[in-house]
């Protein structure tokens, strides 16, 4: 930008204001300031900035470098003398025009001051927000660290609990098996005839032993599943018909005693699923066993499968039994939870079967879905990934 060289004649209030504004403009050089009063505020300000000061204006008018003269005295005769004595290229702005410029400069200064204040306020707010954000981030980081430590501690406690449970149930398994064996011997007559009252008591002991043995078995199974490292569990391609037929065969005695019919798909030859065979056998056995216990004698239970997108197979177990109250549905996979109606129908239930089934489902990256209507029956279903025929596991 081209530099302009300026002179001011009149160093009172108006001249001082113009000088202050010009000093802030990097493209302007104020070379002369003139006033008959050597103590005028504009003269004092000019001296502070190394500007040439005069009490007469002749030298200013004769300076060929001057581009513009501000006449701010307000006296017409001085304005006329400047016009008569100035160099040809020098322009002159009189007091009236200078007043307008002064007003504009004043407005500019006001706007600049406001912008500066707003900028300072904005910077302060940004700083405050940045400080708050940094504080919030530190607090969040601290909470994450605390959560990780707590989670690690809970995991340790859970592992210890699992170890203790496995140890305790192992310790209980043998004594209950022995008690059950003794009661079997008594009931089968190997110790001679016993009174009816004694037989009734021994039969109750025997039933309790069977129930506790089932509970111990399920507790050990669940504890074992929770202690497994999922990445180390071996998965392979298994024929679905083999899994279903094994489960049906395993539960044959129970279905016969209840006169239950199990309907299975006829077209399973080409369906292979990626899974841990033993675990899926347990999962499906638990679902099917529940369906048998909670269905009326002579009922039919259906096992079905359906191919779904993303290379999955949906496997379902459908019964027409007692069903599940809607308010109990969110809790049926909790350990040891049993609704009153379920207890009344099946005293042998441990409350762990569905918890075990869900644990196995989660190991296989799926969930067990439930649809049920009280008094009409239930549908339990889960998904497994399909596998190629060549991936048949060695059974």
CA 106 to chain centre: 55
Give the single-character DSSP code of 364.
T
Question: How confident is the model at residue 345, as a pLDDT?
Answer: 81
**Nearest residue to 53 (alpha-carbon basis) of 101, 111, 11, 113:** 11
The rounded radius of gyration (Å) of the Cα atoms in the chain is 49
Phi, psi angle pair for 349, to nearest 5°: -65, 140
* The model scores a pTM over 0.85: no
Measured distance CA(54)–CA(34) in Å, rounded: 5
Among 345, 356, 350, smallest CA distance to 378 is for: 345
- Predicted local confidence at residue 168, as pLDDT: 63
Give pLDDT, residue 1. Answer: 47
Cβ neighbors of 257 (< 8 A, separation 6 or more) are none
Tokens at residue 317, please? 């177990």
List of residues 6+ apart from 36 with CB closer than 8 A: 55
pLDDT tens, position by position, 354-372: 988 999 999 999 999 999 9
pLDDT tens-digit readout, 273-311: 999 998 999 999 999 999 999 999 999 999 998 888 878
**CA-based nearest residue to 64, from 86, 34, 93, 35:** 86
Q: Residue 32 has what pLDDT? A: 95
Alpha-carbon distance of 275 to 384, in angstroms, equals 7
pLDDT for 196: 85
Along the 395 residues of the chain, how does pLDDT read in single tens digits? 456 899 999 999 888 988 988 888 888 899 999 999 999 999 999 999 999 999 999 999 999 999 999 998 888 899 999 999 999 999 998 877 776 766 766 677 777 788 888 888 998 898 889 888 989 898 888 988 888 888 888 777 766 766 666 666 656 667 767 887 888 888 888 888 888 888 888 888 887 777 777 776 767 677 777 766 677 788 899 998 889 999 999 899 989 998 999 998 876 667 899 999 989 999 999 999 999 999 999 999 999 988 888 789 999 999 999 999 999 999 999 888 888 888 788 777 778 889 889 999 999 999 999 999 998 999 999 999 998 775 444 43
Backbone angles phi, psi at 273, to 5 degrees: -125, 150
pLDDT at 308: 86
């Amino acid at each position: 930008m081209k530099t302009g060289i300026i002179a001011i004649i009149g160093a009172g209030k108006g001249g001082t204001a113009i000088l202050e504004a010009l000093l802030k403009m990097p493209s302007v050089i104020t070379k002369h300031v003139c006033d008959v009063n050597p103590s005028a505020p504009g003269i004092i300000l000019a001296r502070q900035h190394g500007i040439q000061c005069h009490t007469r204006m002749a030298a200013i008018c004769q300076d060929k470098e001057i581009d513009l003269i501000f006449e701010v005295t307000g006296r017409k005769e001085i304005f006329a003398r400047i016009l008569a004595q100035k160099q040809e290229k020098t322009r002159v702005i009189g007091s009236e025009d200078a007043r307008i410029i002064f007003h504009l400069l004043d407005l500019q200064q006001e706007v600049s001051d406001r912008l500066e204040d707003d900028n300072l306020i904005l910077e302060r707010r940004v700083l405050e927000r940045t400080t708050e954000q940094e504080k919030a981030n530190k607090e969040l980081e601290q909470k994450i660290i605390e959560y990780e430590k707590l989670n690690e501690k809970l995991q340790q406690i859970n592992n210890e609990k699992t170890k203790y449970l496995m140890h305790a149930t192992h310790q209980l398994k043998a004594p209950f098996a022995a008690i059950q064996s003794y009661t079997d011997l008594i009931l089968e007559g190997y110790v001679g005839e016993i009174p009816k009252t004694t037989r009734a008591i021994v039969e109750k002991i025997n039933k309790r032993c069977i129930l506790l043995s089932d509970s111990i078995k399920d507790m050990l199974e669940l504890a074992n599943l929770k202690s497994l490292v999922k990445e180390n569990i071996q998965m392979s391609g298994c024929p679905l018909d083999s899994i279903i037929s094994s489960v049906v065969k395993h539960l044959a005695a129970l279905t016969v005693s209840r006169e239950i019919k199990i309907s299975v798909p006829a077209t399973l030859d080409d369906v292979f699923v990626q899974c841990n065979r033993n675990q899926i056998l347990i999962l499906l056995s638990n679902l099917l066993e529940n369906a048998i216990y909670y269905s009326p004698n002579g009922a039919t239970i259906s096992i079905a499968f359906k191919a779904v997108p993303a290379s999955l197979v949906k496997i379902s177990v459908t019964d027409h039994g007692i069903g599940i109250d809607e308010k109990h549905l969110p809790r049926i996979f909790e350990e040891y939870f049993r609704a009153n109606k379920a207890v009344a129908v099946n005293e042998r239930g441990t409350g762990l079967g569905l918890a075990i089934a869900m644990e196995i489902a989660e190991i296989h990256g799926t969930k067990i879905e439930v649809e049920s209507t009280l008094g009409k029956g239930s549908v339990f279903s889960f998904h497994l990934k399909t596998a190629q025929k060549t991936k048949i596991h060695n059974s």
